Every structure is written in C-alpha cells, then in structure tokens.
Amino acid sequence: MAFLTDRKRATGMGSAKSGTHHFWSMKVSSVALLFLVPVFIFTFGGILGSSYTEVTAYFARPFPAIVAALTILVGFKHFNDGAQVLIEDYVHGLMQKVLIIVLTCLSYGAAAVGVFAIAKLAL
C-alpha cells in the first residue's frame, strides 16, 4: 500500500502544455472568419455566374483577391485545428498520430491549392 499525496499521484499526468495554444488559435481564427466570410460573400457574390474573362478581371484587383486568399487560409487553418481536437478526443494510439499527420497535410495542401488558384486568377 502506497502512501501518496494527491499531488504526488497527479505529478506527470498534467497537461501537454498545448491546450491553451489550440484554444486561442481556434478563438482567433473564428473571430477572423466572423469578419472575413461576410466580406468574402459580398465581394464574391457580385461576380458569381459571370464569364471567365470577367472573373479574371475582377480578381486582378487586389481587394477581392486578398479577401479570397485570406478566407481560404484562415478557413483551412480553423478546419485543421477543429478536426485535430476531434481526433485527439476520439482516436488513440498510433492511428491518432497518423490521422493528425494526414489531416494536416490535407488541409495545408488544400489551402495551398486554393491560394494558388486565386494567384493564377489574379496574375
């Protein structure tokens, strides 16, 4: 029978020291999306259904291209953080690490493709 205090039993079982970072990252990205998504809808809605030449001329202007690129980047970062929290909560062991790596590669890859598409339209 071990005579351990509550503190001694809890030592080494504390946080991984990354929970606060994830929390603030999710909060900052959600507030950024709160402003970016309506601006994106208003800037993109006017050109919806137009021809390719009109769309390329529209995205050649800096404001719509920057808004679209920021929305894509912040949106996929927010998706990555949220899905990573879900994986950490419900999947354990080696599969957790594999899924987090795949998720990170998928979300950053999709964000890169989106920004590349916007840059190709804008330039």
Rounded to an integer, what distance in angstroms lies between the CA atom of residue 58 and that of residue 61? 6
Domain ranges of the chain: 22-122
Report pLDDT digits (tens) over 55-102. 999 999 999 999 999 999 999 999 999 999 999 999 999 999 999 999
Q: How far apart are CA 69 and CA 90, in angstroms?
A: 32
Answer yes or no: is pLDDT of 113 > 60. yes
Please answer whether residues 102 and 82 qualify as being in contact, where contact means their C-beta atoms are separated by less than 8 angstroms.
no
pLDDT of residue 17: 59
Tens digits of per-residue pLDDT, 32-51?
A: 999 999 999 999 988 999 99
Number of Cβ within 10 Å of residue 39's Cβ equals 15
- Band of the pLDDT at 14, cuts 50, 70, 90? low
At 54 the pLDDT is 94
Q: What is the pLDDT of residue 12?
A: 62
How many residues in total does the chain contain?
Answer: 123
Q: Which residues, other chains included, contact 37 with Cβ-Cβ below 8 Å and sequence gap of 6+? A: 71
CATH dotted code for 22-122? 1.20.1300.10
Could you tell me the pTM of the whole model? 0.83
